[in-house]
Amino acid sequence: MSASIQNETETIAKAEPSPLPKRHEVPVEMTWDLGVVYADDAAWENDFARVEGLLAPFEQMRGTLGHAAHLLRCLRAQDEAGSLFGQVYAYASLRRSENNADAAAQAKLDRVRMLSTRFSSATAFIEPEILAIEPDTLRGFLSEEPDLSLYNYYFKKLQRRRAHVRSAEVEEVLALAGEATGGTGAVFSLFNNADLKFPPVRDEDGREVELTHGRYIKFLESRDRDVREAAFKTMHGEYFRWRNMLGASLAGAVKTDVFEARARKYDSALHAALSPDDIPLEVYTNLISTVRERLPVLHRYLRLRKKMLGLPNLQLWDLYVPMVAEIEKEISYAEAQDAVTQSLLPLGEEYGGILQQAFEQRWIDVLENEGKSSGAFSDGSYTTPPYILMNWQDNLSNAFTLTHELGHSLHSYLTRETQPYVYGNYTIFVAEVASTLNEALMTHSMQQQAKEQGDRALQLYLLNSYAERFRTTLFRQTMFAEFELAIHALAERGEALTAETMSDLYLQLNRDFYGAEVEIDASVAIEWARIPHFYRGFYVYQYSTGICAAAALAKGILEEGQPAVERYLGFLRGGGSDTSINLLRGAGVDMATPQPIHQALDVFDSVIAQMEALAE
């Protein structure tokens, strides 16, 4: 799923602005079809009760897993309950996303979150009991009960965690603690999406227009610099008003990460985040050090931006306005569907067929409505379609957001169609590879068309768009990753983690990354307060590693053809059946080295060179 500011878009009407539609006013064909999951609330309630019933037998299984037959029975029961619970949870979460102010939807999600805690508590004994079985004995179980071979990789993953899985009693306490410690993200989401309102901003015609999450980026794309500055300062000014509450909220999330890492005897919260998926710590630290080493490439791009915009200096609110003034590239949702389909033809008929299912079977919730969650994401469960939430506006940015989220959804679909439930998810480390690869293929397709048509201006526009994805995905998300590392380190050292401390850190990072070419306005210091992904510890760095892997994979697909496609589809089908590092190596990329990062930055450098040549 994209955390980038690119996803926060909404067209500002040229006529008198109208309020956002109510949910029931959105055309049905522009909404996702959750009816294939549950026909009505009664069906959902029935499965909610079924999950509760499936949890009851686990108490009788406690203490029995030292026997092969009992172990197999317990793991199958866990898969059955987990699969149904995932469906119940996904439906409640998606319904709430349609309208965050809907009290009934909020109640459903609250109930299912409490059920999640009960699920974790009921099954907390399983992994400690498995780890209590001697490895040789467990290998013998595979001969005694051949069906246990399905769980062989699961057992290997557990062995990696042996030192970090506590006794059954402690595991149960940690599971129960989740309900008390895990609410900061939910509080932020409700505040950010339902309660927080922004003052109006004057548009290019001098009219007052309500500032929203969706309209923010549209204002920043305005050709009027005063409009851009007003939107930037108004947005951050409103978050600054709430700085103490938001600081305490994010600090609580960070301290929860630190508590859980220490409770499980990890060296750090970063180690706790990476270790379960066997991601070397060097992947994270190499990303930061390599990107910092290559900051001159970013600065080259910023110099070109200033030149093409004809500005005497660059401000932070100048970073999103299109550099190609003569292009007004509007694209409808239907046109975007066609462009996405065309660009993904290199991935073959099977991939294209699934893509059409997404469009025809209403996997996508397209339009913005009052109370709807902002941005865009792909979500669902093992037994549901991989749904997509959008807040569609007729621009190129949204077309790329659409193909991005479809990358996530088709990755999920191919994984779930191929793998059993126990391996039916992929790690967040590889989650951004498929989405970013889709973007790379769409860029290539549209650029080729522009070249064939001799459309120099459109080529520049597309190159600008591609360059912006490098800036916002590789550089911006790496800056976020460094911020996360710093605030977790403060908490781990027992130092104060306040809004002021976080703002000072964030301001300095902006100076480090952009200060060579941009005049850094101090109001950006509070921007951390509006980034929802900071409530998922050490998540955002994977946007950066994802674009690096995707750049290499896309190059192989376009140059090598079918063999590279087969390797890539094998990676998508792999799900959670091997480590992320190994799955990517099978596709042809080794993220344990700095090489893919340098390769991606070389691509960015090449894009800048092409822009410089076309801009002459």
- Other beta carbons within 10 angstroms of residue 603's beta carbon come to 21
Question: Could you give the residue ranges of the DSSP H alpha helices within 561-594?
Answer: 562-574, 580-587
Half-sphere exposure of 83 (CA within 13 A, CB side): 15
Is the pLDDT at 534 greater than 60, yes or no?
yes
Within a domain: residue 87?
yes
* 559 touches 523 (CB < 8 A): no
Backbone angles phi, psi at 519, to 5 degrees: -80, 115
> How confident is the model over 298-322, as a mean pLDDT?
95
> Does residue 7 carry a pLDDT above 70?
no
pLDDT 10s digits, 475-512: 999 999 999 999 999 999 999 999 999 999 999 999 99
Q: Which two tokens stand for residue 566?
A: 């087969």
User: CA–CA separation, 266 vs 283, rounded Å?
Assistant: 17
Return the structure tokens found at 490: 């403060």
Which of 405, 432, 484, 527 is labelled catalytic?
405
Do the domain assignments include residue 99?
yes
Can you tell me the distance from the alpha carbon of 85 to that of 48, in angstroms, rounded to the nearest whole number? 8
Partnered with residue 387 across adjacent β-strands are: 379
Q: What is the CA radius of gyration of the chain?
A: 24
Residue 10 reports pLDDT greater than 80:
no
372 within domain boundaries: no
| pLDDT-derived band at 19, boundaries 50, 70, 90 | confident
Query: What is d(CA 236, CA 196) in angstroms, rounded to the nearest whole number?
Result: 12
- Measured between alpha carbons, how far is 279 from 271 in angstroms, rounded to an integer? 9
Give the pLDDT confidence score for residue 16 in this predicted structure: 46
The maximal CA–CA distance of the chain, rounded, in angstroms, is: 77
β-bridge mates for residue 388, sequence order: 364, 378
Does residue 1 surpass a pLDDT of 90? no
Answer whether residue 90 shows pLDDT above 60: yes
Does 50 have pLDDT greater than 80? yes
**Taking the chain, what is the end-to-end CA distance rounded to the nearest angstrom?**
37
Query: For residues 215, 219, 222 and 226, what is the CA-based torsion angle, rounded to 10 degrees?
Result: 160
From residue 236, alpha-carbon distances to 76, 210, 525, 529 in Å are 50, 15, 9, 9
The angle that helices 349-360 and 333-343 make with each other, rounded to 10 degrees, is 160
**Sign of the Cα pseudo-torsion (481, 487, 489, 492, in order):** negative
CA angle 13, 232, 371 (to 5 degrees): 55
What total of structural domains would you count in the chain? 1
pLDDT mean across residues, the chain? 92
Does residue 367 sit within a domain?
A: no
Calculate mean pLDDT across residues 172-189.
Answer: 81
Lowest-confidence range among 159-168, 514-523, 548-557? 159-168
Task: Answer whether residue 390 shows pLDDT above 80.
Answer: yes
* pLDDT, average across residues 177-188: 80
Percent helix, strand, coil in the chain (nearest 5)? 70, 5, 25
Contact 341, 403 (CB under 8 A): no
405 is catalytic: yes
pLDDT > 80? residue 13: no
- How does 153-163 read in b/e, with b if 16+ C-beta sit within 10 Å? ebbebbeeeee
Q: How many CA atoms lie within 13 A of 303 on its CB side?
A: 11
Phi, then psi, of 479 in degrees rounded to 5: -60, -45
**Above pLDDT 90, what percent of the chain?**
77
220 HSE (CA, 13 A, CB side): 23
45 part of a folded domain: yes
The CATH number of residue 92's host domain is 1.20.140.70
591, 283 in Cβ contact below 8 A?
yes
Asked if 565 and 406 touch (Cβ cutoff 8 Å), the reply is no
Residue 411 C-alpha from the chain's centroid: 13
The pairing of strands 208-210 and 200-202 is: antiparallel
Q: Which two tokens stand for residue 554?
A: 């896309």
pLDDT digits (tens, 9 = 90+) for 220-266: 999 999 999 999 999 999 999 999 999 999 999 999 999 999 999 99
Q: Which of 478, 467, 396 is nearest to 432 (CA)?
A: 478
Mean of the pLDDT values across residues 198-227? 92
423 located within any domain = no
107 domain-assigned: yes
Domain carrying residue 93: 5-181
- CA nearest to 168, candidates 65, 68, 283, 32: 65
User: Among residues 218, 210, 205, which one has the least CA distance to residue 238?
Assistant: 210
Other residues' Cβ atoms within 10 Å of the Cβ of residue 132: 13
Provide CB contacts within 8 A for 144, sequence distance 6+. Answer: 68, 69
User: What are the pLDDT digits (tens) for 103-148?
Assistant: 999 999 999 999 999 999 999 999 989 998 998 999 999 999 999 9
Contact 603, 611 (CB under 8 A): no
Asked whether residue 89 carries a pLDDT value surpassing 90, the answer given is yes
Residue 345 and residue 178: Cα distance in Å, rounded?
44
Structure tokens at 283: 């992947």
Question: What phi, psi does 66 have (nearest 5°)?
Answer: -80, 5
Residue whose token pair is 């496609």: 565
Contact predicate 298/471, CB 8 Å: yes
For residue 227, give the 3-state DSSP assignment. helix
Is the residue at 597 inside a domain? no
Burial of 480 (0-12, 13-18, 19+ CB in 10 A): buried
Q: What is the DSSP letter of 519?
A: B
